[in-house]
Structures are given as C-alpha cells and as structure tokens.
Amino acid sequence: MPPQEALFYPGAGRDPLSEAWIAARGHLLVVAGGAGREAARDFIAALVPAYYAGRGGAGGLRQAIDAAEADVAGPLDYVAVALADGNLFLARMGGGRAYRVRGTSVDPLTRATAAVGAQPAYSLAVPLQPGDRVVLCSEATATAVGDGRVLSHIAEQRTPREAVARLVALAHERGAGGDVSVIVAFLRPAPRFSRAQMGVLLALGSAALAALFWLAWELWRWGSAA
C-alpha cells in the first residue's frame, strides 16, 4: 500500500481540537492496527473524543481506552500515549512500541510494560523535558528498525515529518511487512506568552508607538511655532 497520512479528531475527523482542550489535557498520540483496518480506525475515532471529554492524564487515558475498546469488536493492537503535565502516560496492547529519544539515548518505554492476557498494559508516568523526541510505531516497524542508534539518528531529524519519512523508508528497506505506521513528536519549550497575552502585548505596544508619534508631532509643532 502507498504511504498514507491520517489525522483523527473528535467529530469523525472533522473538528480540530481547540487550544484550550490541548492545554488542559495534553496531546494524545495513537498507533493502532489489528485484524481489520476498520476496527483500528473505529478505535482511534472513539478514543480521541473520549480522552478529551475526560480529565486527561493517566486516569483519563485509562477511562478513554476502556470506552474505546467497548465500542470496537475484534482484536486490536495499539500503543497510545498522552503527553500531559511534563509526563508521558502509556497504554499498550500487542506488539507496538513507544520510545523516548533524548540526544543519542533511546529508552524503549514499552519493554517494561507487558500486557496480561486481553488486558492492556499501562506505564507509570515517564518524565519529559524540552528537546525530547517521542516515537510510536507498529510492531512491524519496530521489528525492522530496532532500538538503538539507528532510531536515535533518524528521530533527530529537523522536523517530525522528516523523521517519520526516514523511519518508514528504513522499515521498508529492511523488509518490514504488514502495517508500517510511525508517529514522531518533538517536545519544544512552552511559549512564554499565550496567544491572548501576545494580543494584549501587541495592542499595548501599538498604543505606545502611537503616543510616541503624537508626542513627536506636538514637539515638532511647538518648535516650528517658536
């Protein structure tokens, strides 16, 4: 199959998430596969609105996973992470993998969380810091690419899109079969000011400039009259 890009939002992929929702509950990243493509699609489409309608974080992720699994019939493989409050919270079922890349160090986050039976595995909070990269991939991708320096090098490309393209290409070069899916997120420092605050600062700056121009004009008039 040719590479495809898919973005899922509440409202069957139509409505973008608001900045307020993301600020309150963090970012949700999901790679899903399984016996059928429709089941994976339905799982993600149910998971995203369930997570953002809840409280977010570790507890919100568990509740959203339970709600999404209840709406989908058939076996699923997935790895889902919530990035909130400077931490990563992980849920996994099957052979998907998640990694935290920090510099040249690669931490396979799913190695220590083994699912028991038909129940998903959950991790404790994994601390994050600006500059970290978070990589999610399907089992086929993880098997072909492997952990270590190759993943670290590719995950440190200039943009997430470039890192994804390199990982997918490498997985195919190494003979990956089946579902080759990858998500890469770059953690950047939070902006010092929100958009609303920036709007206020710009308005104040414009007013100050206008006052300076008015003062300069008045001084010029006074000097000309003298």
For the cut 60, the answer to whether the pLDDT of residue 5 exceeds it is: no
Better pLDDT: 176 or 207: 176
Convert the pLDDT of each residue in 126-136 to its tens digit: 999 998 999 99
What confidence tens digit (pLDDT) does each residue in 54-107 have?
888 889 999 999 999 888 877 788 999 999 989 999 999 888 889 999 888 888
pTM for this model (two decimals): 0.75
State how far the alpha carbon of 42 is from the alpha carbons of 71, 143, 185, in Å: 8, 25, 23
Q: What is the per-residue pLDDT for 75?
A: 74
57 membership: H or E segment, kind and range: helix 57-70
Instruction: Identify how many contiguous H helices and E strands the chain contains and give both numbers.
Output: 7, 9
CB proximity list for 185: less than 8 A, separation 6 or greater: 27, 29, 83, 133, 134, 160
d(CA 139, CA 69): 19
Q: What pLDDT was estimated at residue 205?
A: 76
The reported pLDDT for the residue numbered 51 is 92
- Over the stretch 15-36, which tens digit does the pLDDT of each residue have? 556 677 787 888 899 998 766 6
Q: What's the start-to-end Cα distance of the chain, in Å?
A: 82
